[in-house]
Amino acid sequence: MGEFDLIKRYFSRPARRAVLSVGDDCALLAPSPGQHLAFSTDSLVEGRHFLPTVNPALLGHKALAVNLSDLAACGATPRAFLLSLTLPRVDEAWLSGFAQGLWALADQSDCELIGGDTTQGPLHINITVIGEVPRGLALLRSGAQVGDDVYVSGTLGDARVALEVFRGHLSVPENVFSQARSRMEQPTPRLALGVALRGLASSAVDISDGLVGDLGHILKASQVGADIEIVRAMPLLACAPDLDLPPAQQLEFVLAGGDDYELVFTAPPHQRDAVVAAGIDSDTRVTRIGTLRAGQGIQLIDEQGHALAHQFKSFDHFA
Amino acid sequence: MGEFDLIKRYFSRPARRAVLSVGDDCALLAPSPGQHLAFSTDSLVEGRHFLPTVNPALLGHKALAVNLSDLAACGATPRAFLLSLTLPRVDEAWLSGFAQGLWALADQSDCELIGGDTTQGPLHINITVIGEVPRGLALLRSGAQVGDDVYVSGTLGDARVALEVFRGHLSVPENVFSQARSRMEQPTPRLALGVALRGLASSAVDISDGLVGDLGHILKASQVGADIEIVRAMPLLACAPDLDLPPAQQLEFVLAGGDDYELVFTAPPHQRDAVVAAGIDSDTRVTRIGTLRAGQGIQLIDEQGHALAHQFKSFDHFA
């Protein structure tokens, strides 16, 4: 099967909302009045972001999910995406699985595949996603204020538990591993929460490199510091009750686990009820974990209100 | 140097026309009224699209140029791009060269870098480009009609001459090689011509896999066939007068060379003067090479008007 048959068989459908979709030099979109277009791009590289043995359907899901997570963090609604696929060879079973996982999430999030590129080389998946957000309502990293509350969606650190099991550093019961693994392999982009937080959250970012690192982007862009209460953060590791982890390791997984694809966001204290309502409306768990203060960096606070020393680092591809 | 320093040093500038540029979860653009947005994406993979020894500044140019060439083929004006860079390691000399070549073409074509992604792995460059074209004026592959003339921009096949020299299959004088090599390594996206052809050309496509293959996309999408006059096509190989190539090989380079990044387009015969004017206005050589007819496929016509058998194939990553 050649390049064009491959595209036709697995990655072509008639345009839905797009003016022109897969199959010309460019795709064409007609922007909606009053909206800004939001763009993000993310690559997944074999051996770096996923193992060669990963289920291709889960990989298809994840490649799109990590991009949609960036739209969620901006409060944008998905509109379309482009897929660049570099494959060592044409493996129809792999392609069929990959396409199935990709289309399932694309349909579920109403995000249309409008174009792409297929080349030969080491397995590499790149997606560029396009969303829409009403002018002036995008959630940015730079809007946080001293006194704002800090929240996270969902749970944190479970994907890291699965990674540590794969690395042979941790042994956990089968049912715990299965849940942790699905958190790693099938993240849920928090799109509905992102939309519900428009006009409510003062800042937001998605957590891909760990809470400390990604919250750090908000702090830097907004020139504030944060106090995080460990008693509120610790329970975010969903599988903790089933494991016999030392508290320090549990905390590390929550604060610097990576691959969470949850949102960390801030909102002024008078919006607490509205944030709770946004969580309920979007069917998304939301936990308040701290407060912004003047200064810089993240300070961990224990149950007695004392500051704790910590050295949690964000994931960096080249550090 | 870590991931974020790398982005900051080489790939961040303040937003120009973008609402929000590099440094948040998403970039934001405000679409212009009355315009459609055009999207295209292309990857360059080491060992497949370029040699490890290539000058990084030329590679930075080419990675953007091949994407801009798709905008040109649609008659779109460049607006912005996203860059996904997968690097085996942080090599500052390489990055600095790559960034220089990339920014030079970005500035020249008024195309703003608004976002991207940096990961570690085998060298891989992906760019997604965003352009604008007035509603209804995009040049498509599907608009060609029987009786239309077929044109190409610039020259064809010289990039292939350079490739054959690199492969050791061809030996040419140094000055010829140097010109052919610059055609391979520094293609010129035909943006001004694409804009000048709005409302004039009935179809267009950019030539990346060879004239026969890419014109074939127009023929298939428009359900027509083409007669190509070899006496008109042969002189398109710019370096031919300096070489002692058999006519059959010269023809192969013109028709199926690859890596040309010229436009092949069609227009009705009553537009001949207007097409000539579009070439002059955009300072781009334009050559009429044939005519569309009913049927399918490409027929080569010799000086006596006889049909010639041919077997030229388009480049296919997996064929």
Is residue A75 situated within a structural domain?
Answer: yes
| Neighboring chain A residues of B131 at a CB cutoff of 8 Å | 26
Mind telling me how many Å the CA of B133 is from chain A's nearest CA?
9
Q: Give the residue from A105, A134, A163 where a domain finishes.
A: A134
What does the pLDDT read at residue A311? 66
Number of domains in chain A: 2
Which chain B residues are Cβ-neighbours of A125 within 8 angstroms? none
Q: Give the helix ranges, DSSP H, for A80-119.
A: 92-108
Beta-strand ranges (E) seen in A15-107 are 27-29, 35-45, 77-87
Q: Is A220 helix (H, G, I), strand (E, B) or coil?
A: helix
> Contact B45/A119, CB-based, under 8 Å?
yes
Q: Are residues B296 and B188 in the same domain?
A: yes
Q: Please check whether residues A44 and A171 belong to one and the same domain.
A: no
Q: Range of A42's domain?
A: 3-134
Q: B123: which 2 tokens?
A: 């060298």
For residue A222, give the chain B residue with the closest CA.
B24
Burial of B14 by CB count in 10 Å (0-12 exposed, 13-18 middle, 19+ buried)? exposed
Place of tokens 């929000």: B20
Test A28 with B131 for CB contact under 8 angstroms.
no
Among candidates A41, A205, A206 on the partner chain, residue whose Cβ is nearest the Cβ of B115: A41
CB contacts of B43 in chain A (<8 Å) are: 84, 86, 117, 119, 124, 126
Strand, coil or helix: A78 = strand
- Is residue A308 over pLDDT 90? no
Shortest Cα distance, chain B CAs vs residue A316, angstroms:
6
- CA-CA distance, A203 to A142, in Å (whole number)? 6
Q: How far apart are CA A228 and CA A150, in angstroms?
A: 8
CB contact at 8 A, A120 and A182: no
For residue A141, being part of any structural domain is answered with no
Using pLDDT thresholds of 50, 70 and 90, give the confidence band for residue B283: very high
Q: Confidence class of residue A247 from pLDDT cuts 50, 70 and 90?
A: confident
Enter the ipTM.
Answer: 0.89
Burial zone of A215 (CB within 10 Å; 0-12 exposed, 13-18 middle, 19+ buried): buried
CB contact under 8 A, A117 and B43: yes
Q: Is residue B236 part of a domain?
A: yes
One domain, residues A92 and A40: yes
Q: Which residues pair with residue A115 across a beta bridge?
A: A82
Chain length of chain B: 319
Structure tokens at B117: 């992604």
Cα–Cα distances (Å) from A40 to A233, B81, B299, B300, in that order, read 29, 10, 44, 45
Q: What is the mean pLDDT of residues A101-105?
A: 96
Distance (Å, rounded) from C-alpha B235 to C-alpha A96? 45
pTM summary value = 0.91
B239 pLDDT above the threshold of 90: no
Q: Which residue has the tokens 């030392």?
A: A246
The whole-angstrom distance between A232's CA and the closest CA on chain B is 26
CATH for B78 = 3.30.1330.10
Among A109, A134, A159, where does a domain finish?
A134
Checking if the pLDDT of A16 tops 90, the result is no
Minimal Cα–Cα distance from B316 to chain A, Å? 6
Question: Using CB atoms, which residue from A4, A28, A45 is nearest to B38?
Answer: A28
Of B28, B37, B45, the CB nearest to A86: B45
Question: Is B212 within a domain?
Answer: yes
Please give the C-alpha separations between residue A314 and each of A204, A208, A216, in angstroms, as whole numbers. Answer: 17, 9, 9
Residues B114 and B235 in one domain: no
Look up tokens 């490649």; give the residue: A63
B307-308 sheet: strands from edge to edge: B203-207, B262-267, B149-153, B286-293, B225-229, B297-301, B307-308
Shared domain check, A94 and A55: yes
Residue in B24, B87, B318 nearest the CB of A90: B318
Residues A106 and A157 in one domain: no
**What is the per-residue pLDDT for A243?**
86
Single residue among B134, B162, B189 that ends a domain in this structure: B134
State whether A166 and A98 are in the same domain. no
**Inside any domain, residue B314:** no
Q: Nearest residue of B to residue A208 by CA position?
A: B25
> Helix crossing, B158-166 with B247-256: angle to 10°?
110
Contact at CB, B140 and A30, closer than 8 angstroms = no
Which of A74, A76, A119 comes nearest B317 by C-beta?
Answer: A119
Task: Give the span between the Cα atoms of B132 and B252, in whole angstroms.
Answer: 35
Q: Answer yes or no: do B165 and B262 share one domain.
A: yes
Contact B141 A23 (CB under 8 A): yes
Whether A99 and A201 map to the same domain: the answer is no
Tell me which of B310 and A200 has the higher pLDDT.
Answer: A200
The alpha-carbon gap from A66 to the nearest alpha carbon of chain B, in Å, equals: 11
Q: Which residues of A236-248 are buried (b: 16+ CB within 10 A; e: fewer)?
A: bbbbbeebebeee
In tens, the pLDDT along B34-70 reads: 999 999 999 999 888 888 888 999 999 999 999 999 9
The residue type found at A308 is: L
- What would the pLDDT profile of B153-181 be if each residue is shown by its tens digit? 999 999 999 999 988 999 889 998 999 99
Structure tokens at A14: 């008639």
Residues B83 and B14 in one domain: yes
Band of the pLDDT at B266, cuts 50, 70, 90?
very high
Q: What is the CATH number of the domain that holds B280?
A: 3.90.650.10
Confidence of residue A54 (pLDDT cuts 50, 70, 90): confident
Structural domain includes residue B317: no
Interchain pair A39, B27: CB under 8 A: yes
∠ CA B24-B29-B32, nearest 5°, is 175
Query: Which residue among A24, A36, A43 sits closest to B30, beta carbon to beta carbon?
Result: A36
**Mutation for testing the A interface, residue in B6, B20, B39 having most A CBs under 10 Å:** B39
Q: Between these two residues, A12 and A169, which has the higher pLDDT value? A: A169
Q: Do A124 and B120 touch (CB under 8 A)?
A: no
Question: Which of B8, B12, B25 should we substitute to test contact with A (largest number of A Cβ atoms within 10 Å)?
Answer: B25
- Please report, for residues A30, A290, B65, the alpha-carbon distance to residue A215 in angstroms, rounded to integers and kept in the order given: 35, 11, 36
Contacts of B38 in chain A (CB under 8 A): 26-28
Nearest Cα to B230, choosing from B146, B149, B304, B144? B304
pLDDT confidence bin for A315, thresholds 50/70/90: low
| Distance separating alpha carbons of residues A143 and A190, to the nearest angstrom | 20
> Same structural domain for residues A51 and A96?
yes
Chain B residues with CB inside 8 Å of A140's CB? Answer: 20, 24
Nearest Cα residue to B118 out of A283, A316, A33: A316
- Of B25, B90, B141, nearest to A40 by CB-CB distance is B25
- With CA atoms as reference, the chain A residue closest to B318 would be A2
Strand partners, B211: none
Whether the predicted pLDDT of A313 surpasses 70: no
Q: Is residue B172 part of a domain?
A: yes
A vs B: CB pairs below 8 A: 222
Lowest mean pLDDT among A220-234, B41-55, B190-204: B41-55
Task: Give the integer Cα–Cα distance in Å for A62 and A106.
Answer: 11
B84 vs A24: CB contact, 8 Å cut-off?
A: no
- Is residue A288 domain-resident? yes
Query: Coil, strand, or helix at residue A204?
Result: strand
Mean residue pLDDT across chain B: 91
Residue A27 to residue B42, Cβ atoms within 8 A: no
* Residues in chain A within 8 Å Cβ distance of B137: none
Closest chain B residue by Cα to residue A205: B25
Residues of B in contact with A73 (CB under 8 A): 25-26
**Smallest CA–CA separation between A100 and chain B, in Å?**
21
Task: Please answer yes or no on whether B84 and A3 come within 8 Å at the CB atom.
Answer: no
Mark yes or no for CB contact B29/A43 under 8 Å: no
Which residue of chain B comes nearest to A85, CA vs CA? B43
Whether B162 and B289 share a structural domain: yes
Alpha helices in chain A, H assignment, sequence order? 3-11, 56-74, 92-108, 158-166, 174-185, 191-196, 211-222, 230-233, 247-256, 272-281
Looking at residues B201-224, what average pLDDT do you find? Answer: 95
Is there a contact between A298 and A215 (Cβ–Cβ < 8 Å)?
yes
